[in-house]
Amino acid sequence: MNLTNSFVMLAARVILGVVLIAHGWQKVSVWGIAGTTESFANMGVPAASIAAPAAAGIEIIGGILIIVGLGTRIVGALVAVTMVFAGIFAGHFTNGIYASNGGWELVGIIATAALMLVAAGPGMHSVDHFLRKNRQQA
């Protein structure tokens, strides 16, 4: 991977991470975990009392990890699965494409970006790269 590509990967990780953190923070600070749990239960999410804090945690902690590029492929996979569940249980897949109509546009883009990180990795400007490089030198 060349330097330009790595900076593009860094920019993509930062943008994706910020979006994830914002959505997770909304679940914690705006709606509260209790409100998020109630909302999840009303949507038919199984084990809503576990799923709500798990989703918030994956979004907040996962967003931070994606930004710094630590565990990027694993976190990307978790985020993608979370977005598929959101698409199913929040009804996004049945509401058309546009997010303004409750459609799958946002969860689809987030899942796709996360899957691209799974496939491509985090780039050179990441903790993952630093750790891999140091292991190879040891």
Total structural domains in the chain?
1
Tell me the pTM. Answer: 0.92
What is the spatial distance between Cα 9 and Cα 29, in angstroms, rounded to a whole number?
Answer: 29
pLDDT tens digits, one per residue of 61-80: 999 999 999 999 999 999 99
Average the pLDDT over 44-61 and give the result.
96
* Domain containing residue 133: 3-137
What is the spatial distance between Cα 42 and Cα 90, in angstroms, rounded to a whole number?
Answer: 9
Tokens 């494409």 correspond to 97
Residue 59: exposure state from Cβ atoms within 10 A (0-12, 13-18, ≥19): buried
CA 22 distance to own-chain centroid? 11
pLDDT tens digits, one per residue of 74-111: 999 999 999 999 999 988 899 999 999 989 999 999 99
